[in-house]
Amino acid sequence: MDEERVTAVKRRNPVLTWLVWPLITLGIYYFVWWYKINREARDSSVEVSPGLALLAVLIGWVIIVPPYISIFRTGERIARMQDSANQRPSCNGWIGLILSFFFGLHALYYQIELNRIWEHESKHPSPSKQH
């Protein structure tokens, strides 16, 4: 699973993720990105169904609450990923939730936090990843 994880994660430009690609794709990129980051969390041994997380933000707006729960929980998942990468968890689901009300800034915040994990892991690979 460690080998899969190495190839499954991707360092992304936060501004492109938050603003540029969603604008160019008329919002579709956001949903693809949301699925991918939750899949990366699952691949990092955090319990999550990426499909359900996606459905919550994709069609959950009909009953208002599900997208916000998904945003909050994804922030908590990123914090767990940071912890499992031997980092001090700096991602906060509450901050992500609040930022979601301001131009969707949670996407920018979450991608910055994810990039910190990938940067840390590239500098400090676990013993099973060293060859």
Q: What would the pLDDT profile of 80-102 be if each residue is shown by its tens digit?
A: 999 999 999 999 999 999 999 99
What pLDDT score was predicted for residue 121? 86
What pLDDT score was predicted for residue 117? 95
Which tokens belong to 70? 């998904």
What pLDDT score was predicted for residue 3? 45
What pLDDT score was predicted for residue 69? 97
What pLDDT score was predicted for residue 127? 60
What pLDDT score was predicted for residue 125? 77
Spans of the chain, pLDDT less than 50: 1-7, 131
Cα 26 to Cα 7: distance, rounded to the nearest angstrom? 28
Which tokens belong to 19? 């603003």
Which tokens belong to 101? 């009300």
List of residues 6+ apart from 92 with CB closer than 8 A? 75, 79
Q: Are 115 and 109 in contact (CB under 8 A)?
A: no
What pLDDT score was predicted for residue 55? 97
What pLDDT score was predicted for residue 86? 93
Cα 92 to Cα 111: distance, rounded to the nearest angstrom? 13
